[in-house]
Structure 1
Amino acid sequence: MSTRRKPQMHSSERARLDPFIVATGDASPRDQQDLMERPFFSLAKAKRVTPILYKAGYVQVEVYAVPEHGLATIWDADVLIWAASQIVEAENEGLRTSRFLRFTPYQMLSAIGRQTGSRDYKLLKGALTRLQATVIHTTIRNGENWRRHQFSWINEWEECVTRDGRVEGMEFVLPDWFYRGVIDRSLVLAIDRSYFKLTGGIERWLYRVARKHAGRQPSGWTFDIPHLHAKSGSQARVSDFALDIRRIAARQPLPGYRLDIEREGRRELLRIRPVKLSTESVGGTVGTLGTSGAGGIGTSGAAPSGLRAQDTQLTLWPETLIPGLNLESNLDSNFDVGPEDGGKPAPDGAASRSDTGRSEPVSPDDTRTREAQP
């Protein structure tokens, strides 16, 4: 029998937020564009404690780890993709959302293709711990008078368990920076479900770069390999990184995109072109969520979303215990943001275009092809 308890919210940020309760339903995977091309996550399977320091034009990204846990990995980022998917789907349905999500671990794990055994729940908690322990400093989307924003990927999280130790429900609070970037529709892109089946850190990051830059442009997008290395935040040498890119291009694992190595004199380039979107398995088994590089992705089944049913499926938080609506805090979390990076011009006038038509500063090395996307 489950043990119900009233959430202890008197000293928590959750006391100021109306919970967004995730119910069962489909949600197409969506990703937040700012996270798709910048080095916000470790791509390594081993624990990484070395900070990520990246600067390009007016954009700065610094990511720091707590040595005990290491940096959040690109596999841990599946938690944020899942959260973004639920929020966007709810907004599309005209439902109110919040930075405060309440859900069952089964909903999240099954949505991103993970197994749902006790080990997988334990690994999920490890991922949440790394997401909370990782500290980000960035100038992205900051206004003219505010130069750097500091936050963690999860402000706080909590689980509720039964007397026998079974995890029955979870809550977490997203940072306002991430939430604003999700509710601004121009900053979110749909991604292929097969993304979750990609097993390597670099190929996962490379798919997100492809989706962000190449989009559906017939001629695609071309990157200089050393500059691509800098954008990845990889600790590998440039020569080893280039070898990894060549191997990935030989395998062609990215759903919806083709990779080709090109040369201009001594320069090595990677061209990314869109192809017919894949609905097939990427192939290969993947590890589990929570290890520093486990992929854990398998199925492309229904993604539980919060959205078509108003009734919660959780038993541990009766509706009578949910505090009154706090519309002021929700409005605080739902205002539109201004132009990215404070609306400052791109270096040397360069600009890329996403599927949404939103422009952002990029390095001239990124923009070998600049056709407008349909």
Structure 2
Amino acid sequence: MAREPLFRPAATDRLDPFVVVAGDASPRDQRDLMERPFFSLSKSRRIRPILYRAGDVEVQVQGLPEHGMATIWDADVLIWAASQIVDAENHGVRTSRLLRFTPYQLLTGVGRATGATEYRLFKAALRRLQSTVVATTIRQGEHWRRQQFSWVNEWEERSGRSGRVEGVEIVLPEWFYRGVVDRSLVLSIDPHYFRLTGGIERWLYRVARKHAGRQPGGWVFELAHLHHKSGSLARPSDFALDIRRIVRRQSLPGYRLMLERAQGPERLRILPMVAEIVLDRSGDRFGERSVDRLGTSGAAIIGTSGAGPSGHRAHEAASNPCGASVPGALNLDSNLESNFLEAQALGVGVTR
């Protein structure tokens, strides 16, 4: 007997399904999602919206009271989907916003167990992703306009007689899909990212990967600027405590963190641990290079944290606690709103 489509023709009459076969693609993230507050950083249900502005860039995120706002753990679904799309296109496979896959593929791909609890949490994540409404002016061109969408436009599941979910189809928003098929808007991330358990910790890794990349000088943020950039509901003092705990643990794969308090406001320096590996547009490695540039975010004065006049740090970078390097290319082109000079000119602000 022929299998009936999961979606009614009226909903997907112009979409051919992209069927995920293997599901073990290298993880990739979408740049815009890495540097701006699109997700709740708490596992508790968040109703209060995120209202963020930086120059002409606006982001508004709201979640329905029934389900709450999508969390940074729910974003694993989008990271996994982006990884599958990029990997398929690298191999000449035609993709689509309509993805067909099994929950097992996704759960194992993001390092989760595959028991009944994980399947239940996966379905709850899909509900939050669908019920979260995002409005943004990002990537709208010269004559910008605000675009509104949900992280998952539609989703449907197929279950066996036992009630176990055997297959899922989701429809991704066009805004997200365009940002994935454009390789310049995608960065590879360390697979150990999925082992990070804290919401701020996960968010901070994505910020580090986006801004610090593999630049030898890394990137510097004032903690107050980071707090605004995160969209977190935590008080600034509690947020700073969380950052200090992460610095003590040194848990971000591929990066070393240092706090600097010698002059002015407290700052966080993010330093890469290995040399830059440069990839071409197909994702293949063709060489290495380094950029002798120090980026700053909200930091007017750069301290040296006890280092002598010839260096920016007092100690050599520690070995990677996860034993993995951070792949990917340079990412200096879209950091303007986090550079402290640009931020002052643009008037960065966020309401949580």
TM-score, normalised relative to structure 2 = 0.79
Q: Say if 2:342 is the partner of 1:358.
A: no
| 2:313 counterpart residue number | none
The answer to whether the 8 Å contact 2:6/2:157 transfers is no
| 2:97 counterpart residue number | 99
How far 1:187 sits from its partner (Å)? 0.5
Q: After superposition, what is the alpha-carbon deviation per residue over 1:139-189, rounded to whole angstroms, capped at 9, x for unaligned?
A: 110123232110000000000011221211000000000000000000100
How far 1:244 sits from its partner (Å)? 1.0
Q: Secondary structure at the match of 1:259?
A: strand
Greater shift, 81-90 or 21-30, is seen at: 21-30
Distance 1:117 1:203 in 2: 25
* % identical equivalent positions: 66
Distance 2:136 2:71 in 1: 18
Q: Secondary structure at the match of 2:269?
A: strand
- Pick from 28, 31, 35 the counterpart of residue 30 of structure 1: 28
- Pick from 131, 134, 137 the counterpart of residue 135 of structure 2: 137
| 1:229 counterpart residue number | 227
Alignment of 1:182-201 (within 5 A): 182-201=180-199
The answer to whether the 8 Å contact 1:223/1:367 transfers is no
Q: Secondary structure at the match of 2:266?
A: strand
Q: After superposition, what is the alpha-carbon deviation per residue over 1:284-312, rounded to whole angstroms, capped at 9, x for unaligned?
A: xxxxxxxxxxxxxxxxxxxxxxxxxxxxx
The answer to whether the 8 Å contact 1:71/1:130 transfers is yes
Alignment of 1:1-374 (within 5 A): 5-24=3-22, 26-263=24-261, 265-276=263-274, 355-356=330-331, 358-365=333-340
Q: Secondary structure at the match of 1:223?
A: strand
Q: After superposition, what is the alpha-carbon deviation per residue over 1:267-299, rounded to whole angstroms, capped at 9, x for unaligned?
A: 11110000149xxxxxxxxxxxxxxxxxxxxxx
How far 1:256 sits from its partner (Å)? 0.2
Distance 1:4 1:24 in 2: 23
How far 1:40 sits from its partner (Å)? 0.2
How far 1:119 sits from its partner (Å)? 1.8
How far 1:9 sits from its partner (Å)? 3.4
How far 1:55 sits from its partner (Å)? 0.8
The answer to whether the 8 Å contact 1:221/1:367 transfers is no
Q: Secondary structure at the match of 1:359?
A: coil
The answer to whether the 8 Å contact 2:6/2:158 transfers is no
Q: Secondary structure at the match of 1:45?
A: coil
| 1:343 counterpart residue number | none
How far 1:24 sits from its partner (Å)? 1.5
Give the superposed CA RMSD. Answer: 1.9
How far 1:11 sits from its partner (Å)? 4.9
Unaligned stretches of 5+ residues in structure 1: 278-353, 369-374
How far 1:364 sits from its partner (Å)? 3.7
Distance 1:36 1:72 in 2: 15
Going from structure 1 to structure 2, the CA distance change for 1:25 and 1:229 (only over 3 Å counts) comes to closer
Task: Flag as ranges the 4+ runs of structure 1 deviating above 6 A.
Answer: none
Q: Residue type matched to 1:233 in 2? A: G
Q: Residue type matched to 1:118 in 2? A: A
Q: Secondary structure at the match of 1:18?
A: coil
RCO higher in structure (CA 8 A, sep ≥6): 1
Unaligned stretches of 5+ residues in structure 2: 276-328, 344-352
Q: After superposition, what is the alpha-carbon deviation per residue over 1:35-67, rounded to whole angstroms, capped at 9, x for unaligned?
A: 001000000121101001111112111100100
Distance 2:339 2:105 in 1: 42
Going from structure 1 to structure 2, the CA distance change for 1:102 and 1:217 (only over 3 Å counts) comes to same
Going from structure 1 to structure 2, the CA distance change for 1:110 and 1:363 (only over 3 Å counts) comes to closer
Q: Secondary structure at the match of 1:267?
A: coil
Q: Residue type matched to 2:112 in 1? A: R
The answer to whether the 8 Å contact 1:223/1:366 transfers is no
Distance 2:23 2:15 in 1: 23
TM-score, normalised relative to structure 1 = 0.74
Distance 2:30 2:165 in 1: 29
The answer to whether the 8 Å contact 1:195/1:207 transfers is yes
Going from structure 1 to structure 2, the CA distance change for 1:266 and 1:361 (only over 3 Å counts) comes to closer
Distance 1:168 1:25 in 2: 15
The answer to whether the 8 Å contact 1:56/1:363 transfers is no
Distance 1:12 1:254 in 2: 45
The answer to whether the 8 Å contact 1:57/1:361 transfers is no
Going from structure 1 to structure 2, the CA distance change for 1:77 and 1:114 (only over 3 Å counts) comes to same
Q: Secondary structure at the match of 1:62?
A: strand
Q: Secondary structure at the match of 1:258?
A: strand
How far 1:12 sits from its partner (Å)? 4.2
